[in-house]
Chain A
Amino acid sequence: DAGVTQSPTHLIKTRGQHVTLRCSPISGHKSVSWYQQVLGQGPQFIFQYYEKEERGRGNFPDRFSARQFPNYSSELNVNALLLGDSALYLCASSLWGSGSGELFFGEGSRLTVL
């Protein structure tokens, strides 16, 4: 069975541009979460979606947005990119949207902003 898949794996953008990252959860999983990991730090929570509804939002500016589609895949959008947005963006899927239940992560999308 396929795990969590993310695309693209690597990308380079310039300041001010926009980026869209994509995630497909494990088959049967209904919740998708996004995390940002900058070099040397642990991942930081950005968003959680469950059954196409936003269930949680971390401390990130409004330039960050996301959505979940009827097939439970998800997109993370970042507008007006800043140098500080350079990071590994991780997507996680889980069966449910509640606190219990194991999360599984994809390989990540490594974004470099020049």
Chain B
Amino acid sequence: GIQVEQSPPDLILQEGANSTLRCNFSDSVNNLQWFHQNPWGQLINLFYIPSGTKQNGRLSATTVATERYSLLYISSSQTTDSGVYFCAVSGANSKLTFGKGITLSVRP
């Protein structure tokens, strides 16, 4: 099956800093999603981005499908950005394969 690697595993930022989270995947994909998991466990959809670039406020994402990676950019980070960020991909079926997640801590 498809392998997903996320880096770095942990990230500590000062409030107001920018960051880049990376997701590498091992095969071509039909679906790539970025999620933020809140402290209660819910997965919040950030981007559905199998290819191209999207922006939503302080967040943006880019997927280069031919090179099998995606990047999530967080600008002017806030303490509320803290949590675990997951990248998940699927191939021909709808089975999402998740990476191990990136734990982000934003300090005031």
Residues of A in contact with B (beta carbons under 8 Å apart) = 31, 33, 35, 37, 41-45, 48, 50, 55-56, 58, 88, 90, 92, 94, 96-108, 110
Contact = CB atoms under 8 A, between A and B. Distances in A.
A48 B93 CA distance: 9
A48 B95 CA distance: 7
Contacts of B83: none
Interface string B16-52: 0000000000000111010100001111010010100
B64 interface: no
B41 A33 contact: no
Q: What size tier do the contact residues of chain B reach?
A: 20 to 34
B61 to A, nearest CB: 13
A93 to B, nearest CB: 10
A56 B50 contact: no
B86 A107 contact: no
B94 A102 contact: no
Given A43-B86, A45-B95, A107-B41, 11 more contacts: A50-B94, A55-B93, A56-B94, A94-B94, A97-B93, A100-B30, A100-B31, A102-B48, A103-B96, A107-B40, A107-B42
B45 A42 contact: no
A54 B23 CA distance: 29
